[in-house]
Structure 1
Amino acid sequence: MEQFLTFGIVGLSTAAVYAVIGSGLVLTYVTTGVFNFAHGAAGMLAAFCYWQFTVGWGWPVPVALAVVLLVLAPAFGLAVERVLMRPVQRLGEAERLVMTVALLSGAIAAARWIWDPNVPRPLSVFFADRRPFHLGPATVTWHQALTMTVAVAVAVGLWFLLTRTRTGAEMRATVDDRALVRLTGADPVRAGRVAWILGTQLAAVGGILIAPTVALDASQLSLLIVSAYTAAVFGRLRSLPLTFAGAVVVGCLESYLTGYLPQNPYLPGLRLAAPALLLFLALLLFRHPRPRHRDRRLVQVPAPSLRGTAVFAASTVAFGVVLATVLDEADLVTYGPVFSLGIVALSYVPLAGYAGQISLCQLSLAGIGAVVWGHLGAHGQWWALVAAIAVSGAVGALIAVPALRFSGVYLALGTAAVTVVLDRWIFTLPAFHLFGARISLFDQGSVDMSGPDLFGLHLDSAADLTVLAAVCLGLASLAVARLRRSGFGRRLIALRDSEAAYATLGGNLLVTKVAVFALSAGVAGLGGALYGMQQRAVTAEQFNLVAGLPIFLVAVIGGLGAVGNGLFAGTAYIGPNVLIGVASWTQNIVALLPALAGMGLGHSPEGLVARLRRTWEPLGRDPVALPVLLGALALGWVLRLTHVIGNWTFLTGSLAVALALRGWAVTREAPGTAPDVPVEWWGVRRPWRPQDGEVLARATAGR
């Protein structure tokens, strides 16, 4: 009994922290309509700053707390609200969600830059010099008592703020109708600002309270938010009392699993994955309200021409051949994954771009493809690549069946939970037998990879695998373009526009969602298998949630509806590694780039691929400039192969020639020489322009 009570006290203490963090998450969502994935990262940064002040610089604890909670946390909340969230408030739910994911990724990268993750940073609990006291047979430390007291104070304070003050009424009303709130004389901007400040302060309080009991690690502290997510989902993202009740369930579950989980090699990861499993179950079992402040402003997804996509696919293969012939073996290991990770990024196009299903588990599905290839294709069997695609697709279909109940932010939460479960438990399992078959994943270590045998050739060199990955990316791009133009692709667009309307018109939501999840998972599995071949060996850490966030962000930046997004995302994600080769000190800057680019999403919600295409189209149409460019590139390639020039000369020279010829083509193209597009194809075969609405209004005014 004494042991049971002791673990209960520990669980309640942990639950108090989850309650504080979760209440801040709910407060921000109820007020602004933004589910802040970076909420835990704010607490992580506060914990690191508190360590820096107290341990690093020797400040008194009260002074450090005052600076962190009353200065830094409010300033961080104000900056996020003003610089990041306000510009995307007019956009849809997906864009606001991506902004917070970018902030999460950027906060982790910044913390690793400032505080070396290889240096341990122990932090003492509060009142460490005081002896614990007893409640019956249970022993309670003063830090645990303080944590639970703070949670109660936060609960009372938030209840009073939201139900008994004018500011609280403004905060609750703002998310429902900002325009109507303005008519009452209230200021929705001020209400949102207050919510971000208070939410950040609560995250900081939770981060400081829990940091002494866990390792001061950027990823671990940021992902503690998964437990707070679970508590918030228990409260259905709007009820603070239910959020506190959910925190108690999560905290006690973790504590009792620690104390009573049987000693078994298959179960240690279960305790770490328990909050994510509970989150997924809560999403399944509870009826969730319609996401608040949901916006239906969707980015158009033009149907790509098959001819243009074929040219793009051929260009992708040519790019792969050039890389394979001009780079040495070591450089190809670094830059060759442009194509394999590009395939992983391409898997977002049918799922998120066409069907509107936000998923954060694509890199984990790629990990499944890599594992299947590593074990079944150890001797180069070509059919193992088909098996990797099939198994990944089957796992994607399994995820889709329960995900039928999710949409919007709930789907993002569910797929994030799946990723955490795979990373913390499934991928850590030793080999086991299922229905007489031996199942082996990462074997609690790494999995060695080799290339395939195709058409009597053993493709195992870095150059061979780079060309193979480029060919696969080109073929996958063609397949995704063909999908968009098919009847199934049109159904996916209809599903994205309105699930209710799609079902009303006879569409089968279950079949469609399962099919698109399986398809995108199969594409991701193909990319993961090719990535494993190029890396020679892979570990589970390469496919976790934190590793997948930058790829997701780069894919969103490129434009989730663009077929060319695969090559763009792979190049944008891997390409900056050139800076590391030139100057190693740029490593942390490169890690920050995807997050910084994601934070600029509000300035280009349609994606960069569409903008780049419009920018370079004049060069592609010019009958003189295009052949000159192709000839110059071919000449530079030959000079590089004959070692007349080096890699840097070839790269910089090619870019300089391309930019110069593009500028020349733009000047040669008169304003009226662009291809004439019929009015019914405006917004499809060419981008929609602001003046098009006025033109159509004038044309139809007399009818």
Structure 2
Amino acid sequence: MEQFLTFGIVGLSTAAIYAVIGSGLVLTYVTTGVFNFAHGAAGMLAAFCYWQFTVGWGWPVPVALAVVLLVIAPGFGLVVERVLMRPVQRLGEAERLVMTVALLSGAIAAARWIWDPDVPRPLSVFLADKKPFHLGPATITWHQAITMTVAVAVAAGLWFLLNRTRTGAEMRATVDDRALVRLTGADPVRAGRVAWILGTQLAAIGGILIAPTVALDASQLSLLIVSAYTAAVFGRLRSLPLTFAGAIVVGCLESYLTGYLPQNQYLPGLRLAAPALLLFLALLLFRHPRLRGRDRRLVQVPAPSLRGTAVFAASTVLFGVVLATVLDEADLVTYGPIFSLGIVALSYVPLAGYAGQISLCQLSMAGIGAVVWGHLGAHGELWALLAAVAVSGAAGALIAVPALRFSGVYLALGTAAFAVILDRWIFTLPSFHLFGVRVSLFDQGSVEMTGPNLFGLHLDSTAELTVLAAVFLGLASLSVAWLRRGGFGRRLIALRDSEAAYATLGGNLLVTKVLVFALSAGIAGLGGALYGMQQRTITAEQFNLVAGLPIFLVAVIGGLGAVGNGLFAGTAYLGPNILIGVASWTQNIVTVLPALAGMGLGHSPEGIVARFRREWEPLGRDLIALPALLGLLALGWVLRLTDAINGWTFLIGSLVAAFALRAWAAAREAPRTEPDVPVEWWGVRRPWRPEDGEVLVRATAGS
């Protein structure tokens, strides 16, 4: 009994922290309609700042707490609300989600930049020098008592704010109808600002309270928010009392699993994955209210031409051949995965771009494909590549069945929970037997990879595998374009536009979602298998949730509806590594770049690929500039193959020539086409210019 009470006290102490963090998450969501995936990252940054002030610089604890909670946390919340979230407040849910995911990824990268992750940073609990006191047979430390007291104070303070103050009334009114609130003289912007400040402060309080009991690690502290996610889902993202109740369930579950879970080699990861499992079950079992802010700006997804896609696919293969022949072995190890990771990014196009289904576990699907190839294709058997695609597709179909109940933020939460379950438990399992078949994943270590046998040849060199990945990326791009042009692609677009209308017109939601999830997971599994071949050895950490966030962000930046997004995402994700080769100190800057780009372009749903295509079309139509560019590229390639120039000289010279000829082609085309555009087509057949508005005003005034 004494042990039971002891674990119960520990569980309640942890639950108090989850309640504080979860209440801040709910407060932000019900006031602004933004589900903040970066909520835990705010608490993580606050914990690191608190360590820096108290341990690193020796400040007194009260001073450090005051600076973190009254200056840094409110300032961070204000900056996030004003600079990042307010510009996308009126956009769709997907754009707001991308912004918070970018903030999460950027906060983790920034923390690793500022505080070396290889240096341990222990943090003492509050009043560590005071003896614990006893409550019956249970022993309670002062830190636990402070934590539970803070949770009670937060609950009382939030009740008073929401029910006894004008600001609280504005915040509660904003939940129902932001437009109606303005008619009453209230200010929903001010209510949102207060919510972001308070939410960030509550995240900071939770981060500081939990940091002494766990390792001060950027990823671990940020992903502790999964437990707060679960508490918030218990509260249906709007009820603070139910959120506190959910926190108690999660905290006590974790504590009792620690104390009573049988000790064997298969279950340690279950305790770490328990909050994610509970989150997934809560999403399945609870009936969720209608999501706020579901208004979306649906981006048109034009059907790509098969001829243009074929040219693009051939160019992708040619690009792979060029890289394989102009770069040395060391550079190919760095830049060769452009094509395999590009396939993983391409898997977002049918799933998110066509069907409108948000998934944060695509890199986990790639990990499944890599593991299957590593074990079944140990001797290069080509059929094992098909098995990797099939098993990954089956895992994607498994996600799709419960995902029928999810949408929007709930779907993102469910797929994130699935990725955490794989990362913390499934991928850590040792070998086991299932129906008499030995199943082995990462086997608590790494998996050796090799290339395939193709037409009697064993492809195992870095250059050969780079070309192979480029070929598969070209074929996958062609397949995705063919899918969009077919009947199934049109059904996916209809599903994205309105699930209710799709079902009303006779569409089968379950079958369609299972097929598109399986298809996208199979594509990701193919990319994971090829990536593993190029890496030679893989570990589970390469396929976790945090590692997949930058790829998701780069794919969104490129444009989720563009077939060329695969090549763009792979190039944009790995291309900045050139800076590291020039100056090693830029490594941390490179890790932050995807997050910065996501923050800057998350509100541009059309993506960069479509804009690139418009900008480069004049070069493709110019009968002089295009042959000249191809001739220069061929000449440079010959010079590189004869060692007259090195690989980087060829690549940089090719880029300079391409941009120069593109500008020349655009200048040649502009005088011929722009005067022929009627005024009613300005902004459609040619870009809208600031001076066009004045021209129209003068023209209408004169008439």
TM-score, normalising length: structure 2: 0.96
Distance 2:316 2:682 in 1: 28
Deviation at 1:177, TM superposition (A): 2.9
User: Which residue does 1:527 correspond to in 2?
Assistant: 527
Distance 1:493 1:353 in 2: 9
- Give 1:122's aligned amino acid: P
Deviations 1:568-602 (A, max 9, x none): 00000011111111111111000000000000124
Deviation at 1:31, TM superposition (A): 0.3
Distance 1:682 1:172 in 2: 44
User: Which residue does 1:305 correspond to in 2?
Assistant: 305
In 2, are the aligned partners of 1:348 and 1:555 still within 8 Å (CA)?
yes
Name the SS of the counterpart of 1:670 in structure 2.
helix
Deviation at 1:464, TM superposition (A): 0.5
User: Which residue does 1:481 correspond to in 2?
Assistant: 481
Distance 2:672 2:34 in 1: 44
Deviation at 1:163, TM superposition (A): 2.0
Distance 1:671 1:2 in 2: 86
Distance 1:490 1:677 in 2: 32
- Aligned pair 1:77/2:77, yes or no? yes
| Percent identical residues | 90
User: Which residue does 1:661 correspond to in 2?
Assistant: 661
In 2, are the aligned partners of 1:302 and 1:684 still within 8 Å (CA)?
no
User: Which residue does 1:350 correspond to in 2?
Assistant: 350
User: Which residue does 2:596 correspond to in 1?
Assistant: 596
Distance 1:603 1:437 in 2: 48
Deviations 1:597-648 (A, max 9, x none): 0001245321010111111111111111111111111111111111111222
- Aligned pair 1:498/2:498, yes or no? yes
The more displaced of 124-133 and 170-179 is 170-179
Deviation at 1:299, TM superposition (A): 1.4
Name the SS of the counterpart of 1:134 in structure 2.
strand
Deviations 1:407-452 (A, max 9, x none): 0000000000000000000000000000110000001000000000
User: Which residue does 1:408 correspond to in 2?
Assistant: 408
User: Which residue does 2:427 correspond to in 1?
Assistant: 427
In 2, are the aligned partners of 1:40 and 1:222 still within 8 Å (CA)?
yes
Q: 1:459 to 1:147 in 2, by over 3 A?
A: same
Distance 1:325 1:130 in 2: 68
Q: How does 1:17-96 map to 2 (within 5 A)?
A: 17-96=17-96
- Give 1:222's aligned amino acid: S
Deviations 1:93-146 (A, max 9, x none): 000001000000000000000000000000000011110000000000010000
Q: 1:602 to 1:416 in 2, by over 3 A?
A: closer
User: Which residue does 1:696 correspond to in 2?
Assistant: none
- Give 2:509's aligned amino acid: L
User: Which residue does 1:265 correspond to in 2?
Assistant: 265
User: Which residue does 2:248 correspond to in 1?
Assistant: 248
Instruction: List alignment gaps of at least 5 residues for structure 2.
Output: 693-703
User: Which residue does 1:196 correspond to in 2?
Assistant: 196
Deviation at 1:672, TM superposition (A): 5.7
Q: 1:527 to 1:686 in 2, by over 3 A?
A: farther
User: Which residue does 1:208 correspond to in 2?
Assistant: 208
User: Which residue does 1:447 correspond to in 2?
Assistant: 447
User: Which residue does 1:275 correspond to in 2?
Assistant: 275
Distance 2:52 2:419 in 1: 32
Deviations 1:244-283 (A, max 9, x none): 0000000000000000000110000000000000000000
Runs of 4+ displaced beyond 3 Å: 670-678, 681-692
The more displaced of 288-297 and 211-220 is 288-297
Distance 2:248 2:684 in 1: 52
Q: 1:503 to 1:56 in 2, by over 3 A?
A: same
In 2, are the aligned partners of 1:87 and 1:602 still within 8 Å (CA)?
no
Q: 1:609 to 1:161 in 2, by over 3 A?
A: same
- Give 1:501's aligned amino acid: A
Distance 1:310 1:45 in 2: 47
- Give 1:382's aligned amino acid: L
Distance 1:677 1:365 in 2: 48
In 1, are the aligned partners of 2:316 and 2:567 still within 8 Å (CA)?
yes
Instruction: List alignment gaps of at least 5 residues for structure 1.
Output: 693-703
User: Which residue does 1:389 correspond to in 2?
Assistant: 389
User: Which residue does 2:643 correspond to in 1?
Assistant: 643
In 2, are the aligned partners of 1:69 and 1:205 still within 8 Å (CA)?
yes
Deviations 1:632-687 (A, max 9, x none): 11111111111111222212211111111011111110356389999xx9999999
The more displaced of 329-338 and 381-390 is 329-338
User: Which residue does 1:626 correspond to in 2?
Assistant: 626
Name the SS of the counterpart of 1:438 in structure 2.
strand
Deviations 1:516-538 (A, max 9, x none): 00000000000000000000010
The more displaced of 169-178 and 269-278 is 169-178
Distance 2:292 2:685 in 1: 34
Distance 1:682 1:485 in 2: 29
TM-score, normalising length: structure 1: 0.96
- Aligned pair 1:234/2:234, yes or no? yes
- Give 1:266's aligned amino acid: Y
Distance 1:314 1:684 in 2: 30
- Aligned pair 1:379/2:379, yes or no? yes
- Aligned pair 1:548/2:548, yes or no? yes
In 2, are the aligned partners of 1:302 and 1:685 still within 8 Å (CA)?
no
User: Which residue does 1:289 correspond to in 2?
Assistant: 289
In 1, are the aligned partners of 2:363 and 2:548 still within 8 Å (CA)?
yes
Q: 1:603 to 1:507 in 2, by over 3 A?
A: closer
Give the root-mean-square deviation of aligned CA atoms.
2.1
Name the SS of the counterpart of 2:149 in structure 1.
helix
In 1, are the aligned partners of 2:338 and 2:571 still within 8 Å (CA)?
yes
User: Which residue does 2:457 correspond to in 1?
Assistant: 457
Distance 1:682 1:514 in 2: 43
Distance 1:181 1:665 in 2: 53
Q: 1:660 to 1:209 in 2, by over 3 A?
A: same
User: Which residue does 2:605 correspond to in 1?
Assistant: 605
